[in-house]
Amino acid sequence: MSRHIRVLVVDDSAYIRKVVKEMLERSPEIEVVGTARDGDEALEQCERLRPDVVTCDLIMPGVDGIEFIRRQMAKRPVPIVIVSIAAESSERVLSGLDAGAIDFVQKPTALATEKVFDVAEDLLAKVMAAARAPMTRIPTASVDVPLPTASPFQNRYSVVVIGVSTGGPQGLKALVPRLPRDFPVPVAIVLHMPIGYTEAYAKRLDDISALDVLEARDGDAVRPGVVLIAPAGRHLTFQRGGDDTVVTRLDVRPLDTPHRPSIDVLFQSAAECYGERVLGLVMTGMGVDGREGAAWIKARGGAVLTESEETCVVYGMPRAVVEAGLSDEAIPLDRLAATILERI
């Protein structure tokens, strides 16, 4: 039997420490080896216990969660999953991800109810995925290093569609800022995030990118030079008008997808709207979202790229596409922008 995943739980609330410990130890594969009340104690416990994964609150007295993440990642990188209250600022959670955390789970505001246990399945899945994540940290590219546009423009594709989950906020920051201002086709992205985070994330990505990055709205024109991120809670699809213009459509349906927005729904819509002129990309993430959509793109004559295992935080979604025989090429994160430009 493989050894347990050793977890350190960090939260200033004794009740939440107890609840998170109980949730995690529902799995026979996980052992909570310690708890900490603040960032200072967490740093000491990480040094002493050498956990495989840390779960971390953000608002704590003294050294808060973000500062703890920064210091710990500089000292000894360890997979960190933020466990944040839903009412906390999305900016704070995004700062935690920027500091080096791998993923985050929302805990409900009604702490003294059974609703706290509603997040147990999500927390367990993310902690177990984090335990397998390689801790070679993903660098964030900046706008001062855009790559030159491929010359000449081959006019092979009309849209780039991207699907990403765990590790996605960091991965997209290493990809999108490397696309130049004159990138000749539109980009649409599904990033698995809870409601309330995609707009703030789009703004952060826009700040460091040459392209315009926006949270998609219903009826947006799909045009070159613009990156549209599907809003959490609604699927993003395309609709072609009578004058051949393409606009976005947002909908909660279909209701039976594991994720909303769904990569499969975006990819299928792109294939139906653009036919063979779709370039799809499946990046780091848990699960199989994107596999079915990749099949639609391939069936219509488009191409599908996958992020290679060596740079994925979680090699789940790309693996599913590769194993289904749907990936045209697997590429490490630092070469994705150049490869997209070569193909475009």
pLDDT digits (tens, 9 = 90+) for 222-257: 999 999 999 999 999 999 987 889 999 999 888 788
Of 212, 207, 149, 139, nearest to 180 (Cα)? 149
For every residue of 56-68, DSSP letters joined together read E-S--SSS-HHHH
C-beta separation of 144 from 210 below 8 A: no
pTM above 0.85, yes or no: yes
Higher-confidence residue: 333 or 137? Answer: 333
Shared domain check, 198 and 336: yes
192, 209, 235, 308: the catalytic one is 192
Instruction: Name the residue among 316, 323, 327, 314 with its Cα closest to residue 171.
Output: 314
Per-residue pLDDT tens for 269-282?
999 999 999 999 99
Q: pLDDT of 108-154, one tens digit each?
A: 665 555 666 668 888 999 999 999 887 764 444 444 455 555 455 67
The answer to whether 289 is a known catalytic residue is yes
CATH number for the domain that contains residue 220: 3.40.50.180
Domain that holds residue 46: 5-131
- In the chain, the number of structural domains is 2
Q: Is 165 a catalytic residue?
A: yes
Amino acid 140: pLDDT: 43
Same domain membership, residue 115 and residue 179: no
Q: Are residues 316 and 183 located together in one domain of the fold?
A: yes
CATH for 113: 3.40.50.2300
* Active-site position among 38, 90, 289, 327: 289
Amino acid making up residue 65? G
What tokens appear for 242 in the block? 């009578």
300 beta partners: none
Other CB atoms closer than 10 Å to residue 234's CB: what's the count? 18
Q: Are residues 167 and 114 in the same domain?
A: no
* pLDDT, tens digit, 9 for 90 and up, residues 12-38: 999 889 989 999 998 999 999 999 999
**Residue spans of beta strands (DSSP E) within the chain:** 5-10, 30-36, 53-56, 80-85, 103-107, 159-164, 187-191, 212-215, 226-229, 235-240, 246-251, 278-282, 303-307, 329-331
Note the pLDDT of residue 111.
Answer: 56
pLDDT-based confidence at residue 89 (cuts at 50, 70, 90)? confident
Domain identity same for 117 and 171: no
**Residue 275 resides in a domain:** yes
Higher-pLDDT residue of 330 and 138 is 330
Q: Which helix (H) or strand (E) holds 233?
A: none
Nearest Cα neighbor of 25 from 47, 46, 48, 7 is 7
Query: Cis bond leading into 28, ω under 30°?
Result: no
The reply to whether 164 and 127 lie within a common domain is no
pLDDT of residue 139: 45
